[in-house]
Amino acid sequence: AQRVTQPEKLLSVFKGAPVELKCNYSYSGSPELFWYVQYSRQRLQLLLRHISRESIKGFTADLNKGETSFHLKKPFAQEEDSAMYYCALKEGGATNKLIFGTGTLLAVQP
C-alpha cells in the first residue's frame, strides 16, 4: 500500500541549529515526492519536489530509494522557518493526487 510516514509531530530547534524533518514512504515503483509547507495564517504551498533537485529557502531533500526516505534538511534554521511541513507522495497514474503524511510542526526558538 502507498503510504507516507512522518514520525515526528513536533520538532523544536534553536535558531542556527541544523534541521532534519524525516519522511519515509512506501511505494512500489518509481516515486515522486514533494514537501509542502504551511506557515501560520498562510495557504499550504509547495516547498520543493525531488525531481527538481532544487534548494528552496535553504532547504534540500534527497530521495534515498534504498532507505525509502525523503528527509528535508536545512543546515541553519531561521525563526521564519517555523511552520507545519508535510511530505507527500504522488499516486501513480495521470493525475496529481497526493498522499500526504501527518505533518511535522517545526518550531525554531530564538
Partner 1 sequence: NAGVTQTPKFQVLKTGQSMTLQCAQDMNHNSMYWYRQDPGMGLRLIYYSASEGTTDKGEVPNGYNVSRLNKREFSLRLESAAPSQTSVYFCASSRPVNEKLFFGSGTQLSVL
What residues line the site for partner 1 (CB under 8 A)?
4, 6, 9, 32, 34, 36, 43-46, 49, 51, 86, 90, 94-103
Beta strand 3-5 pairing with 24-26? antiparallel
Closest CB to partner 1 among residues 55, 102: 102
What is the CA angle 68-46-43, rounded to 5?
Answer: 130
Could you tell me the three cell numbers for 105?
Answer: 510542526
Q: Which is nearer to partner 1, 15 or 56 (CB)?
A: 56
Q: At closest approach, how far in Å is the CB of 87 from partner 1?
A: 9
**Three cell numbers, residue 34:** 514533494
Cβ of residue 110: shortest distance to partner 1, in angstroms?
26
- The least distance separating partner 1 from the CB of residue 46, rounded to whole angstroms, comes to 4
Query: Where does residue 87 rank: exposed (0-12), middle (13-18), buried (19+ CB within 10 A)?
Result: buried
Residue 91 CB, nearest approach to partner 1 (Å): 9
